Amino acid sequence: SQTIHQWPATLVQPVGSPLSLECTVEGTSNPNLYWYRQAAGRGLQLLFYSVGIGQISSEVPQNLSASRPQDRQFILSSKKLLLSDSGFYLCAWSVLSASISGNTIYFGEGSWLTVV
């Protein structure tokens, strides 16, 4: 079965410091990968998505970037964090499939980022 792992689970970073969140998917090939952000008590904002290695699309302009160095690995980065970057970051995956369960999106456990 497919699983998705995301780390670290929580982190507290000072303003201006770098960020790296990592996500890996197991049990599937060529997944679509996503990074979402959820501010406290708010909805899910799509940050980046990827259909393949090295292919990254950004949804909103920001000081974050994403990379996909391997098929099942997705990394969210920042060179200099802002206070507004605080939130709950969720990695997710989906695959194109004729079955309905294969078309939905599944989320990782999430990473709580607090920028201080």
Which residues sit at the interface with other proteins, rule CB under 8 A?
32, 34, 42-44, 46, 49, 51, 90, 94-96, 100, 103-110, 112
CA distance 20 to 2: 23
- Minimum CB separation of residue 12 from other proteins in Å reads 16
Q: Which two tokens stand for residue 60?
A: 């909103």
Looking at the Cβ atoms of 34 and 85, the one nearer to other proteins is 34
| Cβ closest to other proteins, residue 10 vs residue 16 | 10
Q: How near is the Cβ of 67 to other proteins at its closest, in Å?
A: 19
Give the bridge partners for 24, in sequence order. Answer: 5, 73
Rounded CA-CA distance 60/4 in Å is 24
Minimum distance of other proteins from residue 43's CB (angstroms): 4
* Dist. CA 37–CA 49, nearest whole Å: 12
